[in-house]
């Protein structure tokens, strides 16, 4: 258990960051491998042009992954900083 208030606040942020990062990473995989390479399914079935949907889908996935990674890194740095201040 963390004893400092800062570490306790960063605990859920760190996990939320990892969840958002994982969601973004999965959608990047889904959009590139399953949509484009394997053509298993599309973002919008039956659309005359898949490209706009794919661009928005992949951009959103990349932004989610980046935000999640930034949250996880910031929470980790906060934990390390709090740990350093205690010692």
Per-residue pLDDT at 4: 52
pTM over 0.85: no
Per-residue pLDDT at 1: 47
> Tens digits of per-residue pLDDT, 19-40?
999 999 999 999 999 999 999 9
* 11 has pLDDT over 80: no
Radius of gyration of the chain (CA): 18
> Tens digits of per-residue pLDDT, 48-80?
999 999 999 999 999 999 999 999 999 989 888
- What CA–CA distances, in Å, run from 2 to 9, 78, 80? 10, 12, 12
């Amino acid at each position: 258990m963390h004893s400092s208030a800062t570490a306790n606040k960063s605990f859920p942020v760190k996990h939320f960051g990892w969840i958002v990062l994982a969601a973004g990473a999965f959608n990047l995989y889904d959009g590139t491998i399953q949509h484009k390479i394997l053509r298993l399914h599309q973002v919008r079935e039956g659309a005359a042009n898949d490209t706009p949907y794919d661009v928005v889908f992949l951009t959103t996935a990349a932004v989610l992954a980046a935000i999640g990674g930034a949250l996880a890194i910031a929470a980790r740095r906060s934990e390390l900083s709090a740990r350093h201040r205690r010692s």
